Structure 1
């Protein structure tokens, strides 16, 4: 443009001004158009490819909130991409307009390095929280075990997970510190009922009572849907000089496991008393009193 104007006989100063007035807006507009195109293509890529992977992970998580979480994470990634594109385009536009970027970039580098060095753990927490949310390892309401801490998830964010311990205490676990995680309510579990009885008890009778008691609980409408398969009588699993222990197990949802165990113990104890067999051996409690197997 400058050379063309000079060839047409325009003065050097006028040609420079015309070039600045005409070319800079065109250059800025071109940068904006390229940025918008990059943001659009990146958004399509994130929603199609990364969003698909997130949705598949959400389906494997088997959580009622999984689909909503997948949509939220995909939207968040798309927003992050647009912010990055806008940030880069902003500095390019400043350069096109003739603004010296060296002092700005130097100051931003120093500030960024200082913040990054002092906030390493925070960045790690955010990245770990994002990955935990993408993989759907736990959800609000799940009972999880993190290290030596067990509790119900009351809240989760990108930085911290809040747990409610069985004693009522609240634990705040930074997501970056989660290395080994156990989810005790995902899927199914095995309700295990061990009944210790005196050695004078007839073994066959004990095992028969275990099986009939489990089937009786299974017939109860309150517990029918908790049985994912037929009860399994294992037989004797332990023996001492004065007692032996029989076991029956049932595959059940995690949240129904403990109520199911209590119901089966109660039924076994009731049947052993009614049928005249020696009742389950009483075990010393921590306070020195005697307790039955069902508490």
Structure 2
């Protein structure tokens, strides 16, 4: 009790120090929160500044958006890291020794978490080499979808069914970007063997020209429809390969409209689109089949008939060998 009373007597000496430490700690936290909130609009101001560039394209916009997202996350992590160190200094913790210990511990952690370190390094190179960006359609390790996020450790895809796929950056082996700078749609058009392929290719070029002159689709087309020619002789038709180059992400919209116009134009022109069927060829005109109709007798009936026939023949032979009575008298 006496010790407690003695501490209360010294309250006027250590209370100001405690209040000062709490106030400084609160000030550090408030400043960190304010800086974190202010940094976001400042980073987005950079996006607006780049947006005023007269030559900015959609490709550049997606790249800038991806980089700004990473910068925002890094800035937030840096602000709170500095705030934690300053808070520890306010509380009287030796941060120099703590940082040294953290460095040694981080080195040991790096050896134990090599996959995690590999993910971060791979994520850095994905961004630095501009392999993919947020908003691209890409195929990663055989899985295709829209790139929704590129984080320092993971890359997130969402496929056409709405399924979200998360790939650790270190495990990404192959990346196929379907929408970088421009996109292309390839169509294999199959027609019947009886059709004149030169006429068919001319009709396809006419369809491509009409599509390019359409005000709705003209801004989406980078290069006109190219008819590459006869590409294959299939089981039921001749394949003619065509392709059209569009703006990124617009190849499916233009390609579906092109398919629709090809179907309607072929129907109007009487060009047959074949379907799988089988034809038998004998090498020459086949002759009429020879049909022999048999009675409905069984094997037993035929055996009985044969036995009776032979008995009749034997009996007839015996009667012919018998001598006549009138001739002997």
Asked if these proteins are the same fold (TM beyond 0.5), I'd say: yes
Aligned-partner SS, 2:222: coil
- The separation in 2 between residues aligned to 1:283 and 1:256, in whole angstroms, is 31
8 Å contact kept, 2:236–2:274:
no
- The aligned counterpart of 1:210 is 204
Residue 185 of structure 1: which of 160, 179, 186 is its match? 179
- The aligned counterpart of 1:264 is 258
8 Å contact kept, 1:191–1:251:
yes
- Identify if the C-alpha distance between structure 1 residues 248 and 108 changes in structure 2 by more than 3 Å, giving closer, same or farther: closer
Residue 139 of structure 2: which of 129, 137, 145 is its match? 145
TM-score (norm 1): 0.60
Equivalenced residue count is: 213
- Identify if the C-alpha distance between structure 1 residues 244 and 118 changes in structure 2 by more than 3 Å, giving closer, same or farther: same
- The aligned counterpart of 1:66 is 63
1:165-176 matches, cutoff 5 A: 165-176=159-170
- Identify if the C-alpha distance between structure 1 residues 150 and 143 changes in structure 2 by more than 3 Å, giving closer, same or farther: same
8 Å contact kept, 2:70–2:151:
no
Residue 119 of structure 2: which of 118, 125, 131 is its match? 125
Point out the structure with max Rg over C-alpha: 2
- The separation in 2 between residues aligned to 1:72 and 1:253, in whole angstroms, is 24
- The aligned counterpart of 1:276 is 270
8 Å contact kept, 1:227–1:251:
yes
Cα shift at 1:168: 2.5
Cα shift at 1:244: 0.6
Cα shift at 1:210: 0.9
- The aligned counterpart of 2:89 is none
8 Å contact kept, 1:61–1:136:
no
In the alignment, structure 1 segments of 5+ residues that lack a partner are: 1-58, 88-98, 285-295
Cα shift at 1:109: 6.3
RMSD: 3.6
In the alignment, structure 2 segments of 5+ residues that lack a partner are: 1-55, 86-93, 278-329
- The aligned counterpart of 2:191 is 197
- The aligned counterpart of 1:224 is 218
8 Å contact kept, 2:236–2:275:
no
Is 1:116 aligned to 2:113, yes or no? no
1:236-255 matches, cutoff 5 A: 236-240=230-234, 242-255=236-249
- The separation in 2 between residues aligned to 1:72 and 1:168, in whole angstroms, is 23
Cα shift at 1:197: 1.2
8 Å contact kept, 1:195–1:265:
no
TM-score (norm 2): 0.54
- Identify if the C-alpha distance between structure 1 residues 110 and 221 changes in structure 2 by more than 3 Å, giving closer, same or farther: closer
C-alpha deviations, 1:133-165, integer Å up to 9, x for none? 233322222111111222211122111111112
